[in-house]
């Protein structure tokens, strides 16, 4: 009976993360939607901050996309910080400064992304700060659309929707699974924003200077920290699903798993630093953090507890046979997905199972990294950017 109770509780927790929570916020968004008062004429001076490490293949495209947007060039300032790059990142940006007089490049020692971002912001004085990575591409009207949302006095930060690049050669479960996963995430972020505030972070985002605080250490996720600090300041973070930017870096299953490790370790460190947000007095923001983040990061723990409890179930238990078949199909399908990926054969169900397993391995390793106090803001790049 004990192991059956453990299994049922953990199955409920999994279903809550994957099904119940999305349904709850979908219904809540219909009942409690809080509209944004947009001002299409809001055109403040903006700073675009880019921290880069070994991005010689991508940095030019990012910068050119900024200047090719239709935002007034006299109101744009782009600051790029090289975090000890060993390739030609700095040379590429220096060449671009000859064309763009509001572009600045700073060569820094290997101090980590968070310290680079803090340094770059100290060099800016604009009312609005945009944060961008080298693998992102701005589209026409991106800045104007996001700023029209940010003009609302109740809004402290705004985030664009992210479209994942996928080439014809990208058949990995990492790239395919991440694309599917982000569609699921967009649904959740949109509903959270309609209710009150998005608490997730990914891609291009902007914050008002009034809610800016320096990133406290090298363990927190810079963008997630911004989202939580904005919520703590009782300002909304809006996910603008109508404004789409593109991410052009190709994915692999291994790289996506390692990214999950960094995100979960950094995310837990960020929540620990901003732990006051967990207090129910923060209302919807607290509810979103618990259900969208913390309970989701614990998915591998639920799965491990179910597997271990299944071993100790009595063979005549009503749960035993269904769980045995589930384990064979789920983990066996993921293994087949891994084998098929190695031989360049695509089969949708197995690719999804492989992505689910790799994501949860990343979650688990991220939890372990957090508990060990591992650093999070020193990044690396593979040879093929």
pLDDT in tens, 285-309: 999 999 999 999 999 999 999 999 9
Query: pLDDT at residue 169 above 50?
Result: no
Neighbouring C-beta atoms of residue 134, cutoff 10 Å: 24
Could you give the residue ranges of the DSSP H alpha helices within 312-347?
320-342
Question: Is it the case that residue 174 has pLDDT exceeding 70?
Answer: no
pLDDT at 262 over 50: yes
Whether residue 97 has pLDDT greater than 50 = yes
Write the pLDDT tens digit of every residue in 27-50: 999 999 999 999 999 999 999 999
User: Closest Cα partner for 293 from 252, 263, 320, 316?
Assistant: 263
Question: Residue 43: what pLDDT?
Answer: 95
Residues 6+ apart with CB under 8 A from 238: 36, 149, 150, 152, 155, 157, 158, 159, 193, 197, 198
Confidence at residue 347, expressed as pLDDT on a 0 to 100 scale: 73
**Cα dist. 208→63, 134, 235, 356 in Å?**
22, 22, 10, 36
pLDDT at 73: 94
346: pLDDT confidence band, cut at 50, 70 and 90? confident
Sign of the four-CA dihedral 116, 224, 368, 255: negative
pLDDT attached to residue 159: 95
Token representation of residue 116: 């680079």
β 76-83/46-52 pair status: parallel
C-alpha to C-alpha distance for 252 and 172, rounded to whole angstroms: 6
Predicted local confidence at residue 382, as pLDDT: 44
45-73 pLDDT, tens per residue?
Answer: 999 999 999 999 999 999 999 999 999 99
Tokens of 376: 């999070």
The overall average pLDDT reported for the chain is 90
The whole-number average pLDDT for the span 107-115 is 94
Q: What is the mean pLDDT of residues 113-123?
A: 96
Count CB-CB contacts under 10 A for residue 101. Answer: 8
pLDDT score recorded for residue 385: 35
Q: Return the pLDDT at 383.
A: 38
DSSP state letter for 87 = S
- Find the range with the poorest average confidence among 40-49, 287-296, 339-348, 372-381: 372-381
Percent share of the chain, pLDDT over 90: 74
Q: Which residues lie below 8 Å from residue 15, measured CB to CB, with a gap of 6+?
A: none
Residue 105, classed as helix, strand or coil, is strand
Residue 157 has pLDDT above 70, yes or no: yes
Identify the CATH homologous superfamily for domain 46-251: Spore Coat Polysaccharide Biosynthesis Protein SpsA; Chain A (3.90.550.10)
> And the tokens for 301?
């723990």
State mean pLDDT over 332-339: 88
Q: Is the pLDDT of residue 270 over 60?
A: yes
Sequence-distant (6+) residues with CB within 8 A of 298 are: 13, 363, 367
Q: 83 CB contacts (<8 Å, ≥6 apart)?
A: 51, 52, 53, 108, 110, 111, 112, 113, 116, 379
């Amino acid at each position: 009976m004990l192991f059956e109770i453990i299994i049922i509780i953990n199955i409920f927790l999994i279903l809550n993360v994957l099904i119940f929570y999305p349904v709850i916020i979908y219904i809540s968004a219909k009942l409690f939607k809080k509209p944004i008062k947009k001002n299409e004429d809001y055109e403040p001076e903006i700073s675009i901050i880019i921290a880069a490490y070994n991005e010689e293949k991508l940095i030019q495209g990012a910068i050119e996309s900024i200047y090719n947007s239709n935002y007034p060039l006299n109101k744009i300032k782009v600051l790029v910080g090289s975090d000890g790059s060993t390739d030609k990142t700095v040379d590429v940006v220096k060449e671009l400064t000859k064309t763009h007089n509001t572009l600045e490049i700073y060569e820094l020692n290997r101090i980590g992304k968070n310290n680079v971002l803090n340094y770059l912001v100290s060099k800016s004085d604009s009312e609005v700060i945009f944060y961008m990575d080298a693998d992102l591409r701005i589209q026409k009207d991106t800045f104007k659309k996001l700023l029209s949302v940010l003009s609302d006095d109740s809004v402290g930060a705004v985030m664009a929707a992210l479209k994942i690049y996928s080439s014809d050669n990208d058949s990995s479960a990492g790239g395919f699974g991440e694309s599917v996963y982000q569609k699921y995430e967009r649904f959740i972020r949109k509903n959270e924003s309609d209710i009150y505030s998005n608490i997730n972070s990914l891609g291009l985002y902007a914050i008002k200077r009034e809610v800016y605080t320096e990133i406290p250490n090298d363990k927190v996720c810079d963008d997630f920290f911004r989202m939580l600090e904005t919520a703590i300041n009782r300002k909304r973070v809006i996910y603008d699903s109508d404004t789409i930017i593109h991410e052009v870096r190709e994915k692999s299953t291994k790289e996506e798993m390692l990214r999950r490790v960094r995100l979960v370790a950094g995310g837990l460190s960020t929540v620990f630093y901003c732990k006051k947000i967990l207090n129910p007095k923060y209302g919807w923001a607290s509810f979103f953090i618990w259900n969208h983040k913390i309970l989701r990061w614990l998915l591998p723990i639920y799965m491990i507890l179910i597997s271990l409890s299944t071993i100790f179930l009595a063979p005549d238990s009503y749960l035993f046979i269904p769980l045995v078949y589930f384990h064979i199909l789920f983990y066996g399908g993921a293994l087949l997905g891994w084998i098929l990926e190695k031989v360049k054969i695509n089969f949708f169900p197995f690719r999804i199972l492989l992505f689910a397993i790799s994501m949860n391995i990343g979650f688990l390793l991220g939890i372990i990294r957090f508990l060990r106090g591992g650093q999070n803001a020193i990044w690396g790049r593979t040879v093929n950017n």
